[in-house]
Amino acid sequence: QISKDKKIRDLAKVTSIRISKTMDSESIYLLTKKWKELERNYDENDLEEQARKYGISKYDDYDSVIKKLLVKLEERSYEHFSELLCLGLNPSLVEDLKIQGFIQNLTQKPFVIGEENFKNELMEFINHRIMVDNMYVQKNLNFFNDNLKKIYELLVLLNKSNEKNMDFINTLKPDENGEVKLSFEDLKLKFKQLGEKITSLNNQIEFTQSLEEREAWSVLKELDKMDENFNKYKVNYSLALFSIVNYRFIMEKYGMGSLNEIFVRFKKILKDSCSEFDELWMIDEKSYLIVSPGKSKDEITQLVNTNLKTIENFRFIYKQDIITPKIHVAYLDKQSKPSINILDELIKQIAAVNEQHNES
């Protein structure tokens, strides 16, 4: 055992030299005096304080100290930490097979925690977990937003119908007995029209409350409807897919907090650029999609350029570093490529750019 205390080391050195020779009474006295002085002045508070953190007292015997240290060692085992990590990895709202696979591998091979790249891999899965929950929340918010707009439109129609009926009633002139003559067919028609509007409103409200409809609703379903409208009525629409290609670098160098703050600002820039009928969807950990019904190629090009200009002026400062997210965007309108799935095409373009970026 090598002592890091210089006083003890020097005293031990002197003692070992003197013990090896015949010591007179004066030498023994001086050596004893030095040991007693060291005993009186030796400060072990720091060691005691460190030991107390592990539940060890200076009065514990050797066997007790070893047992307590073994307990603390077990608490710091890979199995213990892998179990704790797995508890926090599952998304709060939905299940995800990718994360379940990672959890299963971590449970079976907890020693991977000690591997060099584990931290980066873990951060990527944490980011994926956040994304899965955010996408679920966004999907539901978009569903309610879309249906609330439809309910509002139906309420407006119902209100207009009611106003027309009130105007009609105000035109009626009662006779001297306070009675009016009214065609039964006219009255029946007005009640029928009013009933149809109330039924439409009620159906829309029931649709909004349906859990099955909400779970089935997605950006793909919305795009299917737009494709159907394009094929039937030639109503064009455009998509713009924005992706942060250096998100892994930002996450690994500056941490999850910095990456999340960048995504919050990034999303706000895109959201602020959307018109009343545009929708913003999160596609994966690094990408957002703007869906623009009725927009032409020129209009979506203008929207993309506006966003890129705003994003270029965006700077995020971390300590002394300026973090600049590298954005790639792919955009297309349906009329330009009527025979293909334009979302798949945009995803392929972004994937190719990401592959080039990772290779470089």
Say what percent of the chain tops pLDDT 90: 24
Strands (E), 268-338: 279-284, 287-293, 316-318, 321-323, 327-333
- How far apart are alpha carbons 175 and 154 in whole angstroms? 37
State whether 236 and 343 are in the same domain: yes
State whether 155 and 272 are in the same domain: no
State whether 256 and 343 are in the same domain: yes
State whether 298 and 345 are in the same domain: yes
C-alpha distances out from residue 173 to 160, 163, 169, 186, 277, Å:
23, 18, 9, 16, 45
81 belongs to a structural domain: no
State whether 329 and 261 are in the same domain: yes
109 belongs to a structural domain: yes
pTM over 0.75: no
State whether 343 and 235 are in the same domain: yes
Domain coverage including residue 114: 90-133
Confidence of residue 298 (pLDDT cuts 50, 70, 90): very high
State whether 39 and 51 are in the same domain: yes
pLDDT in tens, 16-69: 665 555 567 777 777 778 777 766 665 566 777 778 877 888 778 878 888 888
Q: What is the mean pLDDT of residues 223-234?
A: 93
- In this structure, how many other beta carbons lie within 10 angstroms of the beta carbon of residue 83? 13
State whether 267 and 321 are in the same domain: yes
How many structural domains compose the chain?
A: 4
b/e string for 245-267 if b means 16 or more Cβ within 10 A? Answer: bbbbebbeebeeebbeebbeebb
pLDDT in tens, 117-174: 898 888 888 888 888 888 888 888 888 888 888 899 889 988 998 898 888 888 888 8
State whether 330 and 244 are in the same domain: yes
State whether 129 and 142 are in the same domain: no
More confident residue, 172 or 245: 245
State whether 285 and 236 are in the same domain: yes
